[in-house]
Every structure is written in C-alpha cells, then in structure tokens.
Amino acid sequence: MESVEISNTTGDEPVFYSNFGDHSALKFSDRNKEASFERHTGAGYIDNALIEKCHSIYGSGLTETLITSDKMGEGSFSANDAEKILLDKLKVLGISEVAFDEIYYDEGAGYSFYTMRFSPAYDGIKLDIGHNSYGFGQVCPNGYAHISEEGVAELGLHAFCGKIEDKEPVEIISFEQALEVLEQYLDSGIIDADENMTYDRVELNYYPVPNPSPKPDEIEYKAELELIPIWRIYMPLDEYVSGAYNGASAICINAITGENI
C-alpha cells in the first residue's frame, strides 16, 4: 500500500486523493482463497479456482445480459439468488444491505456468473456520489462481485465498511420544495439548462461530504465520513448519451438546506 502511494504522489503528474480509514493492511490465504482487509474500511476476497472458471468463458461465444430490477427473479439461478450469496458473504463484516448500480449475467462454454456493482445502503437509502463526479478530497465508497452458483468468485469493497453512528434527526425538505428550489436555480442561471431538457427520475440518497481542504502534498486519511441526504434528479440515460444536452446527467439538491451540490 505504501509503495502504491509513493508511486502516485511522485513523478511528473502526481495523484493526490483521500482515503477513508487508517493505514492498516492484512491478508489471509490458503494458497487458493484469499481474504484481504485494508484501512478497516476496505476488503477483498478471491477464490482463485472459481474465478478461473469464470474467466474461462471469455472468448467462447460469451453472452452478456444487463439485468434490470424487474428481471431479478428470473432464471434457474437468478440475480436474487446471487444477491443472497453475496449478502451471506458480507454478513461477516456486519454488512446486511447494499444498493445495486448494475448487474450483468455472463454465460458461455457451459458456465455462467453474475457481475454485480453496488454501493452502501442504510435503511433503504443508497450512498452515492454519482458517476464522473470524483473530485479532490472526495471518497467514493463502492463494491463489486463475481458470483456463480458455486459461490463468490471475487469480491472487492472500497471505502465501504465502517461503524455507523447515528446523529440527531434532521428535517429534510420535501421533493415539492426541492422542485421549487430547482426552478429558482434554473431561473437565475445557477443551473444552465434549456427548456427541452428532460429529467424523469428522482431518488433520496446519502452523499459523503468532500473534505474542503485536503492536504495538497500527500494522501489524506479520513477517520470518518459525514453523510448528508440529497435529492438526486436524473436525466434519461438514452437522452444524455445521445449528446443532445451539455447539462449534467443528474442534479443534486441538499435535502436539508436546498443547496445545489
């Protein structure tokens, strides 16, 4: 870990960033299965024999299918089945809930598995910084897993684990109030948009607050993440990908203050 940090922060284009956790690192292995832990907030697992089976199907007429939420229960080995296997593996870390970002089903050469990408979730509310929004001082919790009927082949958790501390309850603005704030931002030009721009989906998420002043010359370790609730308003993906708009794929409103983040 230290050598990676040295290589990132030296040279012509050093890369500075924040880490959630401490400097700890630990790995267990029986020469086939490996479990690793870092910073008390990240973890990894690999079953080398099983991941080799998963990799063997590439280049052999592989079919890859995106699994949407309405297809989670389909098939003899469904995405719901894979989710149960994943959560059973995660429970040793005290993790009982995740929110899926995307799920793919890969099949070929008589073998199949799911690739699952996910984020932390607490009481049904997803923690998400959004796509392409990583910035200086930002920590981006995320996870991935490759899962077959035989079990978890590979698992990775980045800045994902930690003890949750409840704070005093806060009052959040309603979505109707968020829309009023959004109209003010649009009218004033704070958010640049045209009358044809479409947003069609909204979620209540948690957002990890970036450190406003990370150290400019070294990687910073953050002992805790402060999470705030946000209203996240999404543009339809096909419209955004078409390149018709220069605006953001999502608009995020602080659900406590109404601030545009």
What's the confidence (pLDDT) of residue 248? 65
Pairing of strands 18-20, 220-222: parallel
Instruction: Say if 49 falls within a structural domain.
Output: yes
Query: Which residue in the block uniquely carries the two structure tokens 């003890």?
Result: 163
**What distance in Å separates the CA atoms of residue 19 and residue 141, rounded to the nearest whole number?**
10
H or E element in which residue 145 lies: strand 142-148
Question: Residue 241 — φ and ψ, nearest 5°?
Answer: -65, -30
List pLDDT tens digits, range 154-182: 999 999 998 888 888 889 999 899 888 88
Residue spans of alpha helices (H) in the chain: 2-8, 48-55, 79-90, 175-188, 237-241
Name the average pLDDT for the chain.
88
**Tens digit of each residue's pLDDT, the chain (261 residues):** 888 888 888 878 777 788 899 999 999 999 999 999 999 999 999 999 999 999 999 877 789 999 999 999 999 999 999 999 999 999 999 999 999 999 999 999 889 999 999 999 999 999 988 755 567 788 999 999 999 999 999 999 999 998 888 888 889 999 899 888 888 887 887 776 666 667 788 899 999 988 877 777 778 889 999 999 999 988 777 766 665 555 667 788 999 999 888
d(CA 139, CA 77): 34
The total of structural domains in the chain comes to: 2
Q: What totals of helices (H) and strands (E) does the chain contain, helices first?
A: 5, 14
Show the beta-strand stretches assigned E in 30-97.
33-38, 42-47, 63-66
Which structural domain range is residue 188 located in? 175-254
Residue 261 lies in a domain: no
**Ramachandran quadrant class, 132 (left: phi over 0; alpha: psi -120 to 50; beta: rest):** left
Based on the domain organization, do 107 and 193 belong to the same domain? no
**Is residue 206 one of the residues assigned to a domain?**
yes
Kindly list the distances between the CA atom of residue 140 and the CA atoms of 35, 161, 175, 184, 212, in Å, as whole numbers in the listed order. Answer: 22, 12, 25, 30, 15
Same domain, 132 and 203: no
Closest CA to 103 of 121, 123, 87, 82: 82
Query: Are 10 and 78 contained in the same domain?
Result: yes
Residues 81 and 133 in one domain: yes
Whether residue 64 sits in one domain with residue 122: yes
